Amino acid sequence: MGRLKGSKNGRLTLVDLTCSECFTSYSVEPHRVSSSRYCSRACKHKGHSSNMKRPTERRCEECGKQFAATPKSPKRFCSFRCSMSYVHRVRKIYRVERGLGVCPMCNSEFQYLPQKPRLGRSSANQIYCSVACADSAKVLPPIEKTCPACAKPYLTKHKDQVFCSNACKCANLGSRRPASDIEILMRKALERSNLEFIEQMPVGYYSLDFALPERRIAIECDGEYWHSFPEARARDKRKDDFLASQGWKVIRFPGSVIKNDVMACLESIKEAA
């Protein structure tokens, strides 16, 4: 005798069910009876999409009445009146006492909310009565400061400003930058000579590696790697053009030349001077 339909050992029998979507009869194993509702995957997708669009009963959170809404709908109330009634009732619960302050600009009294639990923020730090007073408070008289780079006094409206100009800022950043190996070699060579020089001297928006102010000579020590890129070459050309317009003579020494014979570089500087 042959095995039963759908059985593996001759003892398992299939159960007939009806599809919830197309209402056709189909057979499944006994262990799938509780979870099976559709005869095919197409009927399953069609049934799920229709169920998501089929309205379901919900209870209004304000009046308790039943209303219909789709499963994906975020509706919580049966009408706009119930939603507004809920909002007013919640605001009444969280109503707090208003604080009283004095505006430092116009010396007028104003009220503020010390706490807003619904919005999760606080306005207890409110200082001015209006936006106009807050904007007028930003227009403060200039503050007198002293530039740490050139030691000159200057006026500014920004309390966070440190330097009097961008040139002083660049010079200060350049002085704090650690010197490279070729710059150290050039500095020692200039110190052994009788030439008076200034290291990281600001000129406009640029900072010179070494400068001879009396002779208007700028000495630049260029590393082969960093100054070999097209962007670096274009930047060096802009710097040279600016210094030439200001009456400076620029002398550039590659890093390999400085490392091989720094005294020859010093002789070239003396000849240009």
pTM: 0.40
* Contact assessment for residue 200 and residue 209, using Cβ atoms and an 8 Å cutoff: yes
Q: In what helix (H) or strand (E) does residue 42 lie, and over which residues does it extend? A: helix 41-53
Q: Do the domain assignments include residue 222?
A: yes
Report the pLDDT value the prediction gives residue 97, as an integer from 0 to 100.
64
Q: Do the domain assignments include residue 171?
A: no
Would you state the torsion angle of the CA atoms of residues 67, 73, 74, 78, taken in this order, to the nearest 10 degrees? -20
Instruction: Tell me the pLDDT of the chain (273 aa) as tens digits.
Output: 344 455 555 566 788 888 888 888 888 888 888 888 888 888 888 877 777 677 888 899 889 899 888 877 888 899 988 988 888 777 665 555 677 888 877 888 887 766 544 334 445 567 778 888 877 776 667 788 888 777 788 888 777 788 887 777 766 665 556 678 888 899 889 988 888 888 888 888 788 889 998 889 999 999 888 888 889 899 999 999 999 999 999 999 999 999 999 899 999 988 887
Q: In what helix (H) or strand (E) does residue 251 lie, and over which residues does it extend? A: strand 249-254
Same domain, 188 and 265: yes
The number of beta carbons lying within 10 Å of the beta carbon of residue 191 is: 9
Same domain, 60 and 83: yes
Same domain, 60 and 49: no
Report the pLDDT value the prediction gives residue 243, as an integer from 0 to 100.
92
Query: Distance (Å, rounded) from C-alpha 98 to C-alpha 61?
Result: 30
Same domain, 266 and 195: yes
Q: Do the domain assignments include residue 7?
A: no
Q: Do the domain assignments include residue 198?
A: yes
Report the pLDDT value the prediction gives residue 117, as an integer from 0 to 100.
42
Q: Do the domain assignments include residue 165?
A: no
Query: Distance (Å, rounded) from C-alpha 185 to C-alpha 189?
Result: 6
Q: How many helices and strands, by DSSP H and E, does the chain display?
A: 8, 12
Report the pLDDT value the prediction gives residue 203, as an integer from 0 to 100.
85
Same domain, 80 and 109: no
* Contact assessment for residue 61 and residue 86, using Cβ atoms and an 8 Å cutoff: yes
Number of compact structural domains in the chain: 4
**What DSSP character marks residue 30?**
G
Same domain, 216 and 232: yes
Q: By residue range, what is the domain housing residue 128?
A: 99-138
Same domain, 196 and 262: yes
Query: Distance (Å, rounded) from C-alpha 100 to C-alpha 5?
Result: 86
Same domain, 189 and 255: yes
Same domain, 49 and 61: no
Report the pLDDT value the prediction gives residue 253, as an integer from 0 to 100.
93
Report the pLDDT value the prediction gives residue 195, as an integer from 0 to 100.
85
